[in-house]
A and B are shown apart, each in its own frame.
Chain A
Amino acid sequence: MSGVLSGAPAARPARSRLRFEGDMRGLMALPALLFMGIVFALPLGLLLAKSVQGADGLTLNGYARVLGDAYYRGVIWDSLTLAFRVTLISLLVGYPAAYALARTGGVMQVLLFSLVFLPLTVSIIVKTFGLTIMFRREGILNWLLINTGLTDGPIRFVFTEMSLVIGMVNVFLPFMILPLYSVIRMLDGRYLDAAATLGAGPFTTFRRVVLPLTMPGIVAGSSIVFAISVAAYVTPGLLIGERYMTMSMVMAKAFLNFRDYQLGSAMACVMLVIALSIVFASSFLTRSLEQRGGR
């Protein structure tokens, strides 16, 4: 009878044909899996293998050079602190912006939302190009600063760490705002009313109610922004170049200029480990938040 319930014809031959077909339909996944196995997973495995391959047999020489050398340790540290600064600023600026965005309604919200979304789809080269124009001596930033009387003369932005951080925040901020926005939008306004009724001030309400409820968005946004900042290449390359060496820059130079594949592969593997740790840490945090929330 179960055959009838599941909609399959009850007759025997028909069922065996279906059965056979079911097996065949599993093959639909095969081309994609084969492709990704050969073109994606295999090269990554090869990269790991190359990073420990020496002239004769296995060696950790590449890693010793990357992690043992004060210069390369400094590069890793600089990449991490840069990503941290970009993430922190994006969070501090993005949170209130996402909050305001989630609290506007109707057509206005659609319009403002598109303005956050549009930069995500515009080429990063175009945006970084725009940023270099903004930061120039006679660019719009200095024009604004001088005309509003904030500064007397032009400020030097080009090739400074400040312009690097501002530029990266500009490029990666939407990745912070979007997850925050989607969490804050779900926030039930009655919780805020309840907190107020119980005598909590705005600050206490924010700290005890809003912040814990929007924590998943904070975790998601921060981990995305940190992960893409630590691996960023185009924006630092154009805004500051070799004045601020990052892991990406070392990797690219090792492969494209010095042809030092062992060093480049080892650095790439270090970055891979950092990127994957962020992914795992954020999914672990999200899961423990969900458990604490009792969902």
Chain B
Amino acid sequence: MATAARILSAIILALVLIFLIMPIAIVIPISFSPSTIFSFPPTGFSLRWYENIRNADGILRALWLSTQIAGLSTAISLLLGTLCAIAIVRGFIPGGRLVATFMTSPLMIPGLVLGIAMLQAAREIGLRDGYAALLLAHVVVTMPFIMRTVLASLALFDFAMVDAARMLGCSYPAALWRVLVPNILPGFVSGALFAFIVSFDNYPVSIFLVDVRTKTLPIQLLNQLEMSPDPTLAAVATIMVVLTILALLVCDRLVGLKRMAAV
């Protein structure tokens, strides 16, 4: 009976994995299919939908905007978050645990609620610039992910090395930059990649802050999906999946996926 349970759970695992991968894998054959309707199994092979991406002006513009927002918000979170994390871990400020909870708390707030709150605040102070509003909001969205990975990395870092650098004549900022930063680089990279993906993929916060001229990729894709669904989307999706897998491989090389999933 114990073996029966073991076999059954292995079968369930296999089915679950197929189920999880299926919607991701399905877009790949669709993107190479010559027909305009998504049918399975696909007939023939064509690259027309990939060529079509170039004509889909909105998607390219949205892609560029999303890349900028994700990159900038990750960089700002990384800078502010790391400084704050050092102050927490070293006990420079009172109530470190409380501060850490506060900095990661956007994770507990539903995205739509956050988006609505930001929309109202932006209106209240008269912030009309969609780009600035998006960037500010995405720093909030990415901050918890940076905080978690950086705090975890700092917990393993030996601060005596910073003191040693200080004794050898480094200023405190220089000691952080030349000793601490290289040492916790893997944590930075995995935190930053995760934050980038989270920002890049964010829909519920962005939907309230975009305007006609500034649309992020998820918003543009969803608009397109509702307006005129054709396999161009599958081509874009395939490219995104491939890029994601590449990013994951980089992460795995640097820190290992399991550690990344745990923190």
Contact string against A for B residues 2-15, beta-carbon threshold 8 Å, 1 for contact and 0 otherwise: 10011011101100
Shortest CB-to-CB span from B188 to chain A, Å, is 16
B182 contacts chain A at the CB level, 8 A cutoff: no
A contact residues, total (Cβ < 8 Å): 89
A121 near B244 with CB under 8 A, answer yes
Q: Which of B190-212 contact A (CB under 8 A)?
A: 197, 200-201, 203-204, 207-208
With beta carbons under 8 angstroms apart, the residue of A25, A202, A237 that contacts B1 is A202
Shortest CB-to-CB span from A177 to chain B, Å, is 8
Q: Which residues of A contact B (CB under 8 A)?
A: 7, 21-22, 25-26, 28-29, 31-33, 35-36, 39-44, 46-47, 50, 93-94, 96-97, 99-101, 103, 110, 112-134, 136, 138-140, 143, 170, 173-174, 177-178, 182, 201-203, 206, 227, 230-231, 233-234, 237-238, 248, 251-252, 255-256, 261, 264-265, 268, 271-272, 275-276, 279
A121 near B247 with CB under 8 A, answer yes
Q: Which residue of A lies closest to B2 (CB)?
A: A202
A125 near B120 with CB under 8 A, answer no
- Interface size class on chain B is 35 or more
Residues of A within 8 A of B90 (CB): 25
With beta carbons under 8 angstroms apart, the residue of A103, A133, A178, A201 that contacts B261 is A178
Q: Which of B166-225 contact A (CB under 8 A)?
A: 172, 197, 200-201, 203-204, 207-208, 218, 221-222, 225
Q: Which residue of A lies closest to B236 (CB)?
A: A126
A130 to B27, CA, bound (A): 6
A99 to B112, CA, bound (A): 34
Given known pairs A125-B225, A130-B23, the reply for A264 and B124 (CB within 8 Å) is no
B258 contacts chain A at the CB level, 8 A cutoff: yes
Shortest CB-to-CB span from A278 to chain B, Å, is 9
Shortest CB-to-CB span from B134 to chain A, Å, is 12
